[in-house]
């Protein structure tokens, strides 16, 4: 059950990752763009983000805001942005700032009225610390996840990482869709990974954002 207050989206989609740098933000932003293009009211939230201060690329909140059409500060508030390349609660501690709890992060999430799909992107991998007292999975539970999107790389090592993550999610009540990001249909390994996960493990799996949109709808 969600600990957030105020209006709630019709559906809360939480974007999780098998690790860092697997493309969670890219997938989330493209999903938001596609839904908006289809006339679906969307909003995005990034409960915490951290990055090297010398990194001049757009932040995760900036990218998500580009997809949802919101102010980046509505996506991730200023006090949850940390200028250290560590997991957000570790970054907060390193900077001498208060380290939030899962309940505090979830309680800070506010949504506009009339949102059909609210997207929450976590930081790092599935079991990375999201707060002082919990992981990305704990945060997904606290925000009232209706559907989890687990983003994984399509290449070498993904069978192990996807299986480990799905095992960690086995006790949760929400369905999970796996996205094999950067999937190349001409790559034999990518095809083999897709087929193995789908046929042998029965994984609900897509390889592109249009298929993910169809799955959500």
**Cα–Cα dist 109/213, whole Å:** 24
What digits encode the pLDDT tens for the residues 58-73? 999 999 999 999 999 9
**Cα–Cα dist 33/68, whole Å:** 6
Domain ranges of the chain: 11-216
What digits encode the pLDDT tens for the residues 169-213? 999 999 999 999 999 999 999 999 999 999 999 999 999 999 999
Which of the following is catalytic: 45, 46, 81, 194? 46
The residue among 39, 60, 191, 37 whose CA lies nearest residue 122 is 60
What CATH architecture is 11-216? 3-Layer(aba) Sandwich (3.40)
pLDDT, position 5 = 59
Is the pLDDT confidence value at 14 over 80? yes
pLDDT, position 55 = 87
DSSP state of 153: E
Look up 24 and say whether it is catalytic.
no
* pLDDT grade for 3, boundaries at 50, 70 and 90: very low
The answer for 51, left when phi > 0, alpha when psi is -120 to 50, beta otherwise, is: beta
Supply the pTM of this predicted model. 0.95
The answer for 16, left when phi > 0, alpha when psi is -120 to 50, beta otherwise, is: beta
Q: Which residues contact 211 (CB under 8 A, 6 or more apart)?
A: none
């Amino acid at each position: 059950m969600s600990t957030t207050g105020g209006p709630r989206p019709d559906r809360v989609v939480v974007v999780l990752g098998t690790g860092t740098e697997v493309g969670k933000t890219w997938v989330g932003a493209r999903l938001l763009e596609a839904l908006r293009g289809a006339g679906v009211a969307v909003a995005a939230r990034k409960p915490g983000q951290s990055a090297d201060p010398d990194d001049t690329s757009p932040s995760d909140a900036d990218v998500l805001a580009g997809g949802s059409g919101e102010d980046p500060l509505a996506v991730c508030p200023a006090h949850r942005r940390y200028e250290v390349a560590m997991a957000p609660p570790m970054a907060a501690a390193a900077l001498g700032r208060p380290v939030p709890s899962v309940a505090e992060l979830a309680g800070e999430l506010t949504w506009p009225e009339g949102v059909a799909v609210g997207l929450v992107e976590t930081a790092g991998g599935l079991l990375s610390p999201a707060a002082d007292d919990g992981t990305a999975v704990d945060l997904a539970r606290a925000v009232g996840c209706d559907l989890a999107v687990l983003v994984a790389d399509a290449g070498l090592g993904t069978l192990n990482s996807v299986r480990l993550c799905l095992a960690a999610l086995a006790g949760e009540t929400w369905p999970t869709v796996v996205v094999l990001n950067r999937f190349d249909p001409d790559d034999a390994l990518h095809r083999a990974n897709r087929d193995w996960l789908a046929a042998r493990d029965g994984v609900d799996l897509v390889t592109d954002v249009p298929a993910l949109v169809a799955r959500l709808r």
